[in-house]
A and B are shown apart, each in its own frame.
Chain A
Amino acid sequence: MSDLHSGLLVAVIALVTLLLRALPFMIFGGKRKTPAFITYLSNVLPCAIMGMLIVYCLRGTELFKAPYGLPELIAGGTVVFLHLWKKNTLLSIALGTVLYMFLVQI
């Protein structure tokens, strides 16, 4: 893997990310009022997208062969439980990750 190609990959990812962030401001940023439908989407989409990203993270989980998704289930369940209990973002993420790393490495 050459440094040049790595550099180009970083540049492409940076540009596409910036484009996505800037596009709404370029389209609707002027004097025009934001259309009601767009405002509606911006209210309801974030919840749906976050659910989608969780599924995206877990997409490679093998349910029908060992370990049957158990590390994901146990560590994920721990994150949910810890977060509902302690409401500490950092604690939930750190303990969940350490537990998962332990489960997949033993």
Chain B
Amino acid sequence: MNIRYALKRSLPVMAGYIVLGMGFGILLTSKGYSAGWAFLMSLLIYAGSMQYVAVDLLAGGASLISAALMTLMVNARHLFYGISMIDRYRGTGKKKPYLIFSLTDETYSLVCSGDVPEGIDQKKYFFWVSLFDQFYWVIGSTLGGVIGSMITFNTAGIDFSMTALFIVVFIEQWKSTENHTSALIGVGASVLCLVIFGADNFLIPAMVVITAALTFLRGALEQKQEESGEKGNE
């Protein structure tokens, strides 16, 4: 019953992960890597947007240091997913290491509310939904790798799937929150830093400015959050 419920909840992610995973696999093979690399990366890294970025790093022969820094920047948001799941993942025992490893954007969106219907074991639901999601991602990327190495077509522009994914998540978050200050700060500060520091160096300054602005506005934002009844945890 727990498994069936987790499967049902994970279906929207299945569609997305298989298509995005295939996009990643095709992109990776277009740079001369075999499907085995796509499989390995999805098994070990398992971070959608970072794997797209990793294709660039691999193809360009980036240094290990710059790869580590890039991963820090692109995946820093996972710190915040982790922070908001500390209480919900308490007492998950042996499943906990895997739950932590597999906490992607999409899995986060399925577990962050923590709500499950009566009769469903919440901890088992967390585990199965995490496992299903990674399964879809691995299948999708490997499939994309196989397809990409068999058929050759012009893949220019396929990276836009990542942009489109972020736009969709942004819209979903926008609709689930009443106060859009945080979202506007994110876009505004990033554009500002992009103009000042340029495309290659703006990410770290943008993160600093965003964190500083949100810290500064804490009083005002928390008050509004209470007024609107603690809506929108995402």
Given contacts A8-B64, A13-B50, A34-B83, contact A57 B166 (CB under 8 A): yes
Q: Which of B158, B173, B202 contacts A47 (CB 8 A)?
A: B173
The reply to whether B234 and A47 form a contact with Cβ atoms under 8 Å apart is yes
Count how many chain B residues have C-beta atoms less than 8 Å from C-beta atoms of the other chain: 94
The reply to whether A10 and B83 form a contact with Cβ atoms under 8 Å apart is no
Given contacts A50-B183, A83-B168, contact A14 B190 (CB under 8 A): no
The reply to whether A52 and B190 form a contact with Cβ atoms under 8 Å apart is yes
Q: Which of B184, B187, B202 contacts A54 (CB 8 A)?
A: B187
The reply to whether B163 and A47 form a contact with Cβ atoms under 8 Å apart is no
Please name all residues of chain A whose beta carbon is closer than 8 Å to the beta carbon of B59 when the two chains form the complex: 1
For chain B, residues 66 to 104, give those with C-beta under 8 angstroms from any C-beta of chain A: 67-68, 71-72, 74-87, 89-90, 96, 100-101, 103
Question: Which of A41, A60, A72 is the most central at the interface, judged by chain B CB atoms within 10 Å of its CB?
Answer: A41
Number of A-B contacts (CB under 8 A): 249
CA distance A90 to B169 in the complex (A): 11
Let me know if A66 is at the binding interface, CB within 8 A. no
CA distance A12 to B156 in the complex (A): 27
Let me know if A65 is at the binding interface, CB within 8 A. no
> Please, what's the 1-or-0 string for B140-162, where 1 marks a CB less than 8 Å from any CB in chain A?
00000000000000111111111
Please name all residues of chain B whose beta carbon is closer than 8 Å to the beta carbon of A57 when the two chains form the complex: 159, 162-163, 166
B-side interface mostly = helix
CA distance A94 to B16 in the complex (A): 9
Let me know if B116 is at the binding interface, CB within 8 A. no
Please name all residues of chain A whose beta carbon is closer than 8 Å to the beta carbon of B5 when the two chains form the complex: none
CA distance A64 to B108 in the complex (A): 38
The reply to whether A20 and B75 form a contact with Cβ atoms under 8 Å apart is yes
Binds A, one of B37-45, B121-129, B131-139: B37-45
B interface residues with partner A (beta carbon < 8 Å): 12, 15-16, 19-20, 23, 33, 37, 40-41, 44-47, 49-50, 54, 57-59, 61-62, 64, 67-68, 71-72, 74-87, 89-90, 96, 100-101, 103, 154-171, 173-174, 177, 180, 182-187, 189-191, 194, 199, 202-203, 206-207, 210-211, 214-215, 218, 221-222, 225, 233-234
A interface residues with partner B (beta carbon < 8 Å): 1, 5-6, 8-14, 16-18, 20-25, 28-29, 34, 37-60, 71-72, 75-76, 79-80, 83-84, 89-90, 92-94, 96-97, 100-105
